[in-house]
Amino acid sequence: MIETITALGPRLSIGSTCAAMGLARSTYYRTIRPRYGPHCRRTPNRALSRQERQSALTVLHEPRFVDRAPAEVYATLLDEGQYFCSERTMYRILAENQEVRERRDQLRHPNYHKPELLATAPNQVWSWDITKLLGPVKWTYFYLYVLLDIYSRYVAGWLLAREENSSLAKRLIEESCRKQGIFPGQLIIHSDRGSPMTSKPVALMLSDLGVTKSLSRPQVSNDNPYSEAQFKTLKYRPSFPDRFGSVQDARAYCREFFTWYNAEHRHSGIGMMTPEAVHQGRASEITAARQQTLFAAYGHHPERFVRRPPSPPVLPSAAWINPPRPKTASQDAAGSTISLSDDPWVDPSSNEIGSSLKSNSSSRSYVAVASATEGTAQ
């Protein structure tokens, strides 16, 4: 192309010929008249020659300098009355030979596993978390611990304390598992990576109970969605105060809220049924009764319904934390899914939690452990 433009240029002008050939005129002139040769960079006059650079590299490779920084090498040579190059040039020479790197250990983040949990019945997977409730004055908080069944949305246990620590979490989980009749190998407890959740006492206690521990990835709130959603329901209630005057006020409010939440709240995620009804296995009975009511309404006024009789909201057959995406045949089945769908579940109606742990005066921790049925029992 360059030869064609050069040949036609005297007759048609260089600019017209370049435009016809689709080439910028500046590109043509830069090609035929390179300033320092094609793709070449002029070497500064102050640059070291090839032999001088090799001599400097040989000095840097001396046994006494192999573990020294270029600044130390430079200072040592000056003290000996020698000068080969500047400190910065030493770095350049080493970099050209791939001999410069960070010597300190680099931070390597572990490859955290994405939790994929499945529950097809109550008491298979519990989610738990801790949230702060504002106290009477600035910088004062009360800590609310909540255990939630992800299938039924039933609050299996809760605890309110002035502090956040592993011993309180351990007491809550032990008491809740005992009163729900959890047997070894039945339950998975999922949480984020807060200090009580990852503590050694809690881990040992779960191991003794035969409960599998599952943790979210760091700073991924979507890995614990059920607890986060339940806390929003709590804090967005019209009666939720800006601050609590005392731990007794906070405990009384939580007791009333969890009684309402379990026994009266129609949850959209479980077919508009109450968590207590689903947890106690009455979902199919309620669905059948609702369907009969709708059939009766359809029989009286079929013209008010389009095409077919209406149907009540359906209880989902499973509850997932991070449901796996469909994988193609070429994709490796990386990761694992923890599922207890084949395990039987114990009817919690015979193991109602209706107690509260008394405050521990020695530790000055005001504690209240309550279950879903505490409010109804009182």
* pLDDT (tens digit per residue) in 91-120: 999 999 888 877 566 667 788 889 999 999
Instruction: Note the pLDDT of residue 18.
Output: 87
The verdict on residue 172 lying in a domain is yes
**Are 1 and 23 spatial neighbours (Cβ–Cβ below 8 Å)?**
yes
Based on the fold, state whether residues 37 and 55 are members of the same structural domain.
no
Name the nearest CA neighbour of 226 among 260, 261, 255, 195. Answer: 261
CATH number, domain of 251, equals: 3.30.420.10
The verdict on residue 171 lying in a domain is yes
pTM over the 0.75 mark: no
Distances (CA, A) of 189 to 70, 90, 297: 55, 57, 43
Based on the fold, state whether residues 227 and 275 are members of the same structural domain.
yes
What is the domain range of residue 344? 117-283+317-323+338-377
Instruction: Note the pLDDT of residue 372.
Output: 41
The verdict on residue 367 lying in a domain is yes
Instruction: Note the pLDDT of residue 93.
Output: 92
Based on the fold, state whether residues 157 and 249 are members of the same structural domain.
yes
Which residue stretches of the chain have pLDDT < 70?
Answer: 34-41, 103-107, 328-378
Based on the fold, state whether residues 75 and 179 are members of the same structural domain.
no
Based on the fold, state whether residues 59 and 199 are members of the same structural domain.
no
Q: Estimate the share of the chain in helix, then strand, then coil, as percent rounded to the nearest 5.
A: 40, 15, 45
Based on the fold, state whether residues 360 and 268 are members of the same structural domain.
yes
Based on the fold, state whether residues 80 and 31 are members of the same structural domain.
no
Based on the fold, state whether residues 238 and 222 are members of the same structural domain.
yes
Based on the fold, state whether residues 240 and 134 are members of the same structural domain.
yes
The verdict on residue 298 lying in a domain is no
The verdict on residue 297 lying in a domain is no
Work out how many domains the chain is built from and give that number: 3
The verdict on residue 301 lying in a domain is no
275-280 contact pairs (CB < 8 A, 24+): 275/149, 275/152, 275/153, 275/154, 275/155, 275/372, 276/154, 276/372, 276/373, 278/122, 278/151, 278/152, 278/153, 278/154, 278/315, 279/122, 279/149, 279/152, 279/154, 279/348, 279/372, 280/347, 280/348, 280/349
Instruction: Note the pLDDT of residue 16.
Output: 84
